[in-house]
Amino acid sequence: MQRDSGTMTDGTRRVAAIDCGTNSIRLLVADVEGDKLTDVERRSDVVRLGFGVDRTGVIDPEAMARTLAMCETYAESCRAHRVSGIRFVATSASRDARNAGEFVAGVVRVFGAAGFEVRPEVISGHEEAALSFRGATGALAAAGYAGPYLVVDLGGGSTELVRGTDAVEAAYSMDIGSVRMTERHLASDPPTDEEVAAAVSDVLDALATAEEDVPLSGIRTLVGVAGSITTVTAHALRLPAYDRTAIDLARLSSDAVVAACDDLLHATRAARKALPYMHPGRVDVIGGGALVWREVVLRMAAEGVTDVVTSEHDILDGIALSIAD
């Protein structure tokens, strides 16, 4: 996919994984050797590609322009790092939008100008779940966490539930996420009791449907990934700043997680903005994400899973490993 091989003499390969979701777009440039990843560059930028998609069914032109502008930055990083392969994965917003083809064409054009042949893959919810599971579970066994795992990837437009130990046993993608819940239900600042109740009902209905495909009994370790969950974890830990090292593989009680979710859900946007670990692009939607995560954690607590593990490794890592395959 690039003019230079990007393969090193020791067999390590430098690759780039791009995950374009409803709320943010993220880049991981990593050196891959077998199942081992070494980060070269990892970044996340809020572009809100999925703004309004739940209501209109199309990607907003301004949101598309913002995202393609960030793609230009990512393409330049890939060129500077001399990557040998790029995989660009587009998830919920691009699955649901009628004009997704226009976005795909824009990405092809941007990366082509940088010398790469890249075509975004608008992947299914099940493939998204499998990639998230692979990325999230790589370090769990080594850290002493036992399977079966339930990996929860909470995005802006969808939330994936993935069960498995060494491989995916069952997966389901729910059309609920931080942006969707905010746009559908949480209009007030802070949300009213009526808005919260409507959102909870929406999440519980989605969970009940998901359970038809993903059994929740017998889970040993509940694992949360992606920005809403890592932000909730930072809040529970009361970090002085966002710290990936402190968040990765952090283990918290369900009660602590639920309390942190409630704090963020019922806080004003001004109070959220003042938190030292809050990304500016999450201020208005973190309440929706916290609500979804709270309901999942409570449901698993009813199954006897009273601890929660957060992983900073997620679908990006899974995408990078899939390139090396």
DSSP structure string for 268-304: -HHHHHTSTT--GGGTTTHHHHHHHHHHHHHHHHTTT
Give the residue from 91, 123, 155 where a domain finishes: 123
84 and 116 housed in the same domain: yes
Amino acid residing at 250: A
26 and 168 housed in the same domain: no
Map residue 161 onto helix, strand or coil.
strand
99 and 154 housed in the same domain: no
106 and 222 housed in the same domain: no
SS3 letters for 52-115? CHHHHCCCCHHHHHHHHHHHHHHHHHHHHHCCCEEEEEECHHHHHCCCHHHHHHHHHHHHHHCC
Using CA atoms, how far residue 273 sits from 261, 267, 283, in Å, is 15, 10, 6
30 and 130 housed in the same domain: no
Amino acid residing at 19: D
Q: Would you give per-residue pLDDT tens digits along the chain (325 residues)?
A: 433 445 555 678 999 999 998 888 999 999 998 878 899 999 989 898 877 777 888 888 999 999 999 999 999 999 999 999 999 998 766 667 788 889 889 999 999 999 999 999 888 777 888 888 888 888 788 788 988 999 999 988 889 999 999 889 999 989 899 999 999 999 999 999 999 999 999 999 999 999 999 999 999 999 999 889 999 999 999 999 999 999 999 999 999 999 999 999 999 999 999 999 999 989 999 999 999 999 999 999 999 999 999 999 888 999 999 997 7
Query: Are 45 and 77 a contacting pair, CB within 8 Å?
Result: no
155 and 43 housed in the same domain: no
Can you say whether residue 121 is alpha, beta or left, with left for phi > 0 and alpha for psi between -120 and 50 degrees?
beta
- pTM for the model stands at 0.81
Determine the Cα–Cα distance for residues 313 and 17; give it in Å rounded to an integer. Answer: 13
Which token pair is 135? 């990325």
Residue 146 lies inside a defined structural domain of this protein? yes
Q: How many domains does the chain have?
A: 2
216-235 pLDDT, tens digit per residue, is: 999 999 999 988 999 999 99
Determine the Cα–Cα distance for residues 180 and 155; give it in Å rounded to an integer. Answer: 9
Quote the pLDDT of residue 7.
Answer: 53
CATH number at residue 106: 3.30.420.40
Quote the pLDDT of residue 1.
Answer: 40
Quote the pLDDT of residue 29.
Answer: 97
Domain range spanning residue 287? 126-315
